[in-house]
A and B are shown apart, each in its own frame.
Chain A
Amino acid sequence: MYKIIYKKCLNDFVIMMDVEAPLVARKAEPGQFIILRVDENGERIPLTIAGFDQKQGTVRIIFQVVGATTKKLSHKNAGDYLSDFVGPLGTPTHTEGLKKVCIVGGGVGCAIALPVAQKLHAMGCEVHGIIGFRSKDLLILEDEFRACCNQLTVMTDDGSYGRQGVVTLPLEEAIQAGEAYDEVLAIGPLIMMKFVVATTKPYQVKTIVSMNPIMIDGTGMCGGCRLTVGGETKFACVDGPDFDGFSVDFDEAMQRGSIYNNYERHAYSETCNLFTKEVE
């Protein structure tokens, strides 16, 4: 059993929790994820490690309530226990040697992007952040990003905060203005990542995307998380979740992501799942 030490609501749909899991905290690196089960008959769901504290032995997760399991998780409070919490899984985000990076985060994807941004910043890399949300009330982690980005642009779809428009807008402007990024790192809904790649590809700016397919075990045992990358089958849980954006077959990934849409028992998911937003 894994104790929830701390809980905070970041907005109406996004919740942050620190969970006691010293073995996971000991090894965690930005870009890796955990798999948890809330209770005995629960589903296994993957969530990115949004932060960790090795001294306290805690791991931070930030999740959006989209369906049955995340809803159940949102009802847990500090002091409650989760029945399973395994990790760190996946390959850490590659950061070595990077001097200048643009991090593009969309919605709850910003939670995944943050630890990478922090690590790059701590390494002395110049970090430009572009984070996008549908509207002001969904904005999360702005202060945290400000603290680790040399430049931060906040975008909202409806213009209720920051600049109005999609994240690819300022990205393209920056590239056109001559910002020489070693890498663009895009983390968010599939459709956003697809458009980021479409933006960077003409300029041949290396672009890494963080894929979120449906997973079960997270160890390479089921193949449910498979993607086609550069014509080859890859398992996101072990080979990823980061992949070269130019090689990922996004259309296939979007289709696969919707496999259980008819089975989801929660109407909730219709309205607020940023990961499948606009995909269906």
Chain B
Amino acid sequence: MAANMNPKKNPMPSQPPEVRAHNFNEVALGYTKDAAMDEAMRCLGCKHMPCVSGCPVNIHIPDFITKIKEGDFEGAYQIIAQSSSLPAVCGRVCPQENQCEKHCVRGIKGEPVGIGRLERFVADWHNTYVQEPPKCPVSNGHKVAVIGAGPAGLACAGDLAKKGYQVTIFEALHMPGGVLVYGIPEFRLPKSIVEKEVDTLRALGVKIETNVVIGKTITTDELLGEMGFEAVFIGSGAGLPRFMGIPGESLKGVYSANEYLTRSNLMKAYREDSSTPIMKSRRVAVVGGGNVAMDAARTALRLGAEKVYIVYRRSMEELPARHEEVEHAVEEGVELLLLTNPTEILGYNNPEDKRDPQNGFVTGIRCTKMELGEPDERGRRSPVEIPNSFFTVEVDAVIMAIGTSPNPLIKKTTTGLEVNARGGIIVQEETGATTMEGVYAGGDAVTGAATVILAMGAGKTAASAIDIYLQGN
């Protein structure tokens, strides 16, 4: 079979921007079988597999693509499943341009192979056509507790359950999924996909106890003590939002991205039948430049905002969000205010009437222009303020998407668990073992806010380490 030498990827069928900016349905619709097979033909099957080295969990990329070329989609799925627990999720949300696709040979002279799109195609094909009989493995009698039902916890629980462990996941919220359900919006990752993954775990015999906050309802020490768990995996994420500390952050209409997205995604505030309120704002400024900022901005549009700005203090090149998300956001009408830093949020105040209900609502955001300074030791050019470049943007809501850190709750209530200066749990990289015997950790709780694939990979790594630890006992 001759390779397809088209320099461009097969385009991803998508909802048109003017339509999708007003609904919460998924934006990208997925490859058809023909498009997938055509895209697969662009892969050269390189012997040295540079793409694989770019994949955080080393999916055998050329092998699964070969199966697609052969029309054996289930075969392709099985190859991915050897390395990844959440292909339908990662195919949608991985920053492929910085991972596998960055290293793809086809990317030198044109666009890389659409590896992510192919992964998604294969996973969706499997989910639609293959009814896997839930093979509940024979129990080996060992009990393991998993804290947090995000990608790290789900992956760890899945691998352990397949090996016969009795796994219980404890989740603080009323629904499992972590950021996949409370942070990443429906239009990027339909919740039915996450539900399907969770159902698969349940079919494997994993118990999921929602509404349990470890550190409050039960402590880690109790899990290992009176509750009889022999090992614990901590996948509690990095959910603590940061604020900038500028004046006006307590005004009505200033949200952390976590609050805004949680109201919309987890609590479904965008739907009529939800009783959780969210401000329907007209003009919104989102501060930050990551995926979280893009998600908040695009959610604001869908909730009916006429104008949405991204306020980011560096330039386009440094924008940390996935390219695709930035592109999508701009197509939908989000305006980027780059090299711009907020200095104050302005609010309404009626000096005549202290009881004016408009008092305390956001009216604007005051910003200053920035330029990139000299590169530091690490080559990063940090933004510096241009003197006297103040300007004000009129908005009625401001969403802070400037990062999150690990929640200190578990650390504070677990004796002997050590964390680094940024609050991340200290682990041995190869195993995920923490400073406490029998306690493992992975995902954002260790690294700080990172990616789904890294969290998933860390969950798998810890699962095999827990297996070795318990088999040794």
Contact = CB atoms under 8 A, between A and B. Distances in A.
B16 to A, nearest CB: 30
Contact of B409 (A83, A220, A265, A280): A220
Interface string B159-179: 000000000000011100000
Contact of B243 (A23, A42, A216, A233): A233
Contacts of B263: 216
Contact of A27 (B216, B253, B259, B408): B216
A41 B267 CA distance: 7
Interface of A: 23-24, 27, 37, 41-44, 68-69, 72, 83-89, 216-224, 226, 228, 233, 238, 249, 252, 255-256, 258-265, 280
A226 B252 contact: no
B357 A261 contact: yes
Contacts, number: 117
B246 to A, nearest CB: 11
Contacts of A226: 243, 250
A218 B172 CA distance: 9
A89 B216 contact: yes
Contact of B273 (A23, A41, A217, A228): A41
B255 A224 contact: yes
Interface in B234-283: 239-241, 243, 245, 249-253, 255-256, 258-259, 262-263, 267-268, 271, 273-277, 279
B99 interface: no
Interface string B340-368: 00000000000000010101100000000
A258 B357 contact: yes
Contact of A217 (B172, B274, B275, B279): B172
Given A41-B273, A219-B407, A233-B250, 15 more contacts: A37-B174, A41-B274, A86-B172, A86-B217, A88-B216, A216-B259, A217-B173, A218-B213, A221-B239, A224-B256, A226-B243, A233-B245, A255-B360, A258-B252, A264-B277
Given A86-B213, A255-B360, A44 B174 contact: yes
Query: How many interface residues does chain B have, given as a range?
Result: 35 or more
B250 A69 contact: no
Contacts of B78: none
A226 B243 CA distance: 10
**Chain B at the A interface: mostly helix, strand, loop or mixed?**
loop
A2 to B, nearest CB: 8
A217 B217 CA distance: 14
B470 interface: no
Contacts of A85: 211
A226 B255 CA distance: 10
A54 B207 CA distance: 25
Contacts of A233: 243, 245, 249-250
7 contacts: A23-B212, A69-B275, A88-B217, A89-B216, A216-B262, A219-B409, A261-B357
